[in-house]
């Protein structure tokens, strides 16, 4: 296989390839752009007009999506996958991936949309670099822009695979993109209702891409991901890359929709989350339940009908979200 097909190996060993550009026997061009970043260009004349950014390893211990991107890139490099889209493969936090940790100094997925400028250190620099990779990749006019940022979650989940759809004032969530996600095996989508500081929020809000965070199961070390079934997603991504995707139509095919009721923000070291340590994502919480307390007698009490919790994490830094309270959404505002 072409040396550049081994982007993960290059990234894990912190190696810069001697040859920065290579061409597959089928005429696709692979170009190493920097640590953990590689662009695939389809052969001349085969281009479908789609620019697809696939990122994983924004959190270094979320290995199933990294392994998925590795399989896709191997497929391109050995000619089994024939790209008709321009694709960028990005491993988000190489130093954290090498250590098998979520992050080194701070959560990189809270440093986008300008936040890295207010911070310093390793992850802040990398977030700026990731924004620049994405900005350059999505700079070509009149092309379709799509970004999937692939993750796995800290805890188990009542709904195993789901997407988070960022928000931008004046932009409507696309029913067609949701149908595509359902076909890719996603069981639920959380429709965000305010601007955010994650990687997918950056490409959605600033680069006009359709962009999603995909949560694909529980985070495990490399080689221990047999419990995470990515077959449907992998099949769909290959179809998107090859330009052979079947029409999805408008049917959301049993896809559950949720919207954010409230983000639980941890303000101080006195923050206390009243949930069992092993609670699963999408667990229901009844009205009146005292969810969290913080200093100055701040109390988070569930007021919403049908409320559920995702990503509860009392260990986050002060000022960051320690959980999201979500409610079912009717999908009435979809375009």
Residue 331: how many CA atoms within 13 Å on its side-chain side? 16
151 annotated ligand binder: yes
Residue 51 has φ and ψ, to the nearest 5°, of -110, 115
To the query of whether residue 215 is one of the catalytic residues in this protein, the response is yes
Least separation in angstroms between CB 94 and Zn ion: 15
Give the integer Cα–Cα distance in Å for 141 and 118. 30
What mask of x and - would describe binding to ligand LFNQLBSZ in positions 107 to 136, judged by CB under 6 A? --x---------------------------
Among 86, 151, 173, 180, binds ligand LFNQLBSZ (CB under 6 A): 151
The DSSP call for residue 247 is P
What mask of x and - would describe binding to ligand LFNQLBSZ in positions 156 to 195, judged by CB under 6 A? --------x-------------------------------
Q: Which of 123, 160, 205, 215 is catalytic?
A: 215
Q: Does 198 bind ligand LFNQLBSZ (CB under 6 A)?
A: yes
Choices 37-45, 81-89, 129-137, 152-160; region in contact with ligand LFNQLBSZ by CB under 6 A: 152-160
3-state secondary structure 63-129: HHHHHHHHHHHHHHHCCCCCCCCEEEEEECCHHHHHHCCCCCCCCHHHCCCCHHHHCCCHHHHHHHH
The DSSP call for residue 333 is T
Q: Does 236 bind Zn ion (CB under 5 A)?
A: no
SS3 62: coil
All residues at 6 or more sequence positions from 184 whose CB lies less than 8 Å from its CB, including other chains: 232, 233, 236, 237
Q: What are the residue numbers of the active site?
A: 215
| Residues at the contact surface with Zn ion, assessed by CB under 5 A | 59, 62, 151
Annotated binding site for Zn(2+): 59, 62, 151
Annotated binding site: 59, 62, 151
């Amino acid at each position: 296989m072409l040396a550049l097909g081994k982007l993960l190996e290059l990234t894990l060993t912190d190696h810069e390839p001697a040859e920065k550009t290579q061409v597959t026997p089928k005429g696709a061009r692979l170009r190493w752009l920097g640590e953990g970043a590689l662009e695939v260009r389809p052969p001349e004349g085969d281009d479908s007009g789609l620019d697809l950014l696939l990122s994983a390893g924004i959190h270094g211990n979320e290995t199933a999506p990294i392994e998925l991107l590795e399989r896709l890139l191997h497929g391109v490099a050995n000619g089994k996958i024939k790209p008709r889209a321009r694709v960028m493969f990005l491993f988000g936090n190489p130093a954290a991936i090498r250590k098998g940790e979520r992050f080194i100094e701070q959560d990189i997925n809270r440093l986008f949309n300008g936040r890295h400028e207010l911070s310093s250190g390793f992850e802040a620099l990398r977030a700026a670099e990731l924004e620049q990779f994405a900005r350059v990749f999505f700079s070509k006019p009149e092309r379709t822009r799509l970004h999937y940022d692939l993750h796995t979650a800290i805890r188990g989940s009542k709904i195993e695979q789901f997407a988070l759809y960022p928000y931008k004032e004046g932009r409507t969530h696309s029913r067609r993109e949701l149908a595509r996600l359902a076909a890719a095996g996603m069981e639920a989508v959380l429709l965000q209702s305010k601007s955010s500081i994650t990687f997918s929020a950056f490409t959605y809000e600033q680069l006009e891409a359709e962009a999603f965070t995909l949560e694909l199961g529980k985070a495990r070390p490399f080689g221990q991901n047999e419990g995470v079934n990515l077959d449907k997603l992998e099949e769909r991504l290959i179809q998107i890359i090859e330009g052979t995707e079947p029409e999805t139509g408008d049917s959301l095919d049993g896809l559950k929709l949720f919207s954010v009721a409230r983000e639980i923000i941890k303000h101080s070291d006195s923050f206390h989350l009243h949930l069992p340590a092993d609670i699963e994502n999408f667990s229901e919480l009844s009205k009146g339940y005292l969810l969290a307390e913080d200093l100055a007698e701040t109390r988070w009490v569930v007021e919403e009908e049908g409320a559920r919790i995702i990503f509860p994490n009392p260990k986050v830094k002060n000022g960051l979200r320690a959980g999201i309270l979500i409610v079912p959404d009717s999908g009435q505002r979809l375009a």
